[in-house]
Amino acid sequence: MSNNNETNWHEREMNHMKDWSPYGIVKYLTTNPTYVANPEFAFGIVRKMAAKNKLRYNNIVQFLQQHPAWNQVIFTVENMGNVNGMFLEQVKEAGVLTQKRGSKETFKEHNIQFAIHGKGVAKVTHMTEAGVKTEEVPLGVDLIVRGKGSPDRRPLLSMNIEGSTVRHKFLG
């Protein structure tokens, strides 16, 4: 699938859900067999919905908790220290690059409210023409929520399999 087709597919799916409540979007993405079998695709839609302010950070966390594959990666014993713990301290110390709305001025922001970093392998089961198939899928995510008073309150959300865009772009 080319990148252009993937973009069109995401846009079609987002247009399909544009008038839905955040609760409905999360429920659909975590229960529909297409999205359960394709956690990266579901995550892509969540990311775009968050960028358009359709989903807030609490909806994103709800998605991560309820999606069968993402739940396996985020809320494991190995990653619990990175759910608003060690990763939060690292982000607060490094700061996050923020751009003021309508300006090219950027500055480092250390007022971070919440952070999740999770990485691992999830078992995803889906139907194929040959029957039921279970695959191991490497997944990872970084979620950073800026604190009150930030000029941009949208969450920074990135899929993190081999190094996160959030870490490289937003952290100094």
At a CB cut-off of 8 Å and minimum separation 6, what does 61 contact? 116, 143
For the residues of 9-26, what is the DSSP string, one character each?
HHHHHHHHHTTS-HHHHH
Burial class (CB in 10 A: 0-12, 13-18, 19+), 28: middle
Per-residue pLDDT reduced to its tens digit, 79-114: 666 777 788 888 888 888 887 767 777 888 888 888
* Residue in 35, 66, 54, 9 with CA at minimum distance from that of residue 157: 54
Per-residue pLDDT reduced to its tens digit, 125-154: 887 788 888 888 888 888 888 888 887 788
Give the residue extent of every domain in the chain: 3-170
Per-residue pLDDT reduced to its tens digit, 32-85: 998 999 999 899 999 989 988 899 989 999 999 999 999 998 876 566 667 777
Determine the distance from the C-alpha atom of residue 2 to the mean position of all C-alpha atoms in its chain, rounded to a whole number: 22
* Residue in 88, 89, 108, 90 with CA at minimum distance from that of residue 98: 108
